[in-house]
Structure 1
Amino acid sequence: MGYVLDFGVVYERLPELLLAALSTIGLAVAGMSLATLIGVLGVLTRTSKSSLLRIPTIAFVEVIRNTPFLVQIFFIFFALPQFGIRLNPTATAIIALAVNGGAYAIEIIRGGVESIGKGQIEAGLALGLHKAQVFRHIVLKPAFRAIYPSLTSQFIMLTLTTSVCTSIAAYELTSVAQRIESDTFRSFEVYFSITLIYLAISGLMMALFSAISKLLFSYPVR
């Protein structure tokens, strides 16, 4: 007897899936925000002349970029309690996403900052601009314009990485889908549906990032 599709079970549990999708977006946005902060601060220490700041930052980037995200989130959730640091699944997920995304953000932002020629900075100072004005108008904005596509692509990848957080029972889309699948035994319907939801989330974020790019980084029309 062939398998008969029945998406009715998914429709009945759709409110749960949509609420979990919102939680997934919340985890991603929180992780992105902290990752951006880590990226900016990390660039300052990564490019510092002091080896006490530069070497630990380089080590952090290499360790995070060369280990699986699953190992990182397990380390935070299961290993840190051995030292008295206990976090709930949501906090662990956000911190793990921030640390993972921050390591990549450091290198992406550093590449953008280093793409700005010293001659442009010197020209800005020669025109009488203050250092803060030079940093804002000549370094920061052009650098972010250059790295924006790479940074947003990394953030979308980080959003999809939230699915790994189900391994520590964090409340997000995949964990809810697993619970629904175990209740209904409708694997195809459930996972096909959340695939569409993840695609919708990614499409929404790409549209949002595109709108932000046009608003902040578009060149003036002559």
Structure 2
Amino acid sequence: MNYSFDFSPVFAAWPMLLDGILGTLRMSSLSMVFGLALGLVFMLMRMSKLPMLRSIAIGYIELIRNTPILVQVFFVFFGMPALGIRLSGEQAAILAMTLNCAAYAAEIVRGGVQSIRPGQIEAGRALGMHSVDIYRFIVFRPAIRAVYPALCSQFILMMLNSSLMSSVSAEELTYFAQTLDSQTFRSFEIYFTLGVIYLAMSQFFSIALGLIGRVYFSYPAK
């Protein structure tokens, strides 16, 4: 093997890779926040007594969960212009990731809500608690506590899936790595470093989100 390893082009391009890291974090964070909010809406629709709302929610969730996220972002970026809606690469990426995250978050949170026993709600009413407080402290908070690890895993998965957004020229980490590869042809060094960066980000957020959950969901409720 005559290949000579040289990581100097990668080290020299750290400002570019840092921009990519920030872009990845920005898109992932926005998608998770918007996705969780939209997921709560679809969760409520999914649990509604109205057949039409339930059907819409089920149809949406099944559609998103049974199609690849790459196809979804391609539809948003290349398909929606046919409807007169043109988005930049980053906007299309955030929208596609939000829609994808919402479907999974809806099912995750629904599982948490359904784990709450009806007797707990009845006990809250017997104590004279307001309906808002019942849903806040007896339903929502314990439900989120129960599914918090799954939501954290979904966030990390969303961050890793953001690497696919380079296919629509969204300026995230993989996009800049591909740009650097086309300039230096140091594929091994670049993608080895890329893998290490994604691994480090995943481990960091796994630990950070775990600590946040330990503080926020500790007993007694704060």
**The TM-score by the shorter chain falls in which range?**
over 0.9
What is the TM-score of this pair, normalised by structure 1? 0.97
Distance 1:169 1:93 in 2: 9
Give the AA of the match of 2:55.
I
- Give 1:34-53 correspondences, 5 Å limit: 34-53=34-53
Which aligned runs of 4 or more in structure 1 are off by greater than 4 angstroms?
none
Q: What is the CA-CA distance between 1:159 and the residue it aligns to?
A: 0.4
Distance 1:156 1:204 in 2: 10
Aligned length: 221
Q: What is the CA-CA distance between 1:164 and the residue it aligns to?
A: 0.4
Give the AA of the match of 1:195.
G
Partner of 1:109: 109
1:200 equivalent to 2:200? Answer: yes
Q: What is the CA-CA distance between 1:220 and the residue it aligns to?
A: 3.8
- Give 1:146-157 correspondences, 5 Å limit: 146-157=146-157
Distance 1:85 1:52 in 2: 27
Distance 2:169 2:89 in 1: 6
Partner of 1:62: 62
Give the AA of the match of 1:119.
G
Give the AA of the match of 1:166.
S
Q: What is the CA-CA distance between 1:25 and the residue it aligns to?
A: 0.5
* Percent identical: 47
Distance 2:65 2:192 in 1: 30
Distance 1:151 1:79 in 2: 30
Partner of 1:18: 18
Distance 1:84 1:16 in 2: 33
Q: What is the CA-CA distance between 1:219 and the residue it aligns to?
A: 2.2
- Give 1:78-157 correspondences, 5 Å limit: 78-157=78-157
Distance 1:19 1:166 in 2: 14
Distance 1:137 1:179 in 2: 49
Structure 2, unmatched stretches of 5+, are none
Give the AA of the match of 1:17.
L
Q: What is the CA-CA distance between 1:207 and the residue it aligns to?
A: 1.9
Give the AA of the match of 2:140.
L
Partner of 2:188: 188
- Structure 2 counterpart SS, 1:205: helix
CA-to-aligned-CA distance 1:40-67 (integer Å, 9 cap, x gap): 1111111011112110110000000000
CA-to-aligned-CA distance 1:89-113 (integer Å, 9 cap, x gap): 1110001110011100000000000
CA-to-aligned-CA distance 1:140-181 (integer Å, 9 cap, x gap): 110000000011101100000000001101100001000101
Partner of 2:173: 173
Partner of 1:215: 215
Distance 1:137 1:69 in 2: 34
Structure 1, unmatched stretches of 5+, are none
Give the AA of the match of 1:22.
L
Distance 1:94 1:204 in 2: 22
Q: What is the CA-CA distance between 1:210 and the residue it aligns to?
A: 1.1
Give the AA of the match of 2:56.
P
Partner of 1:9: 9
Give the AA of the match of 1:50.
L
- Structure 2 counterpart SS, 1:123: helix
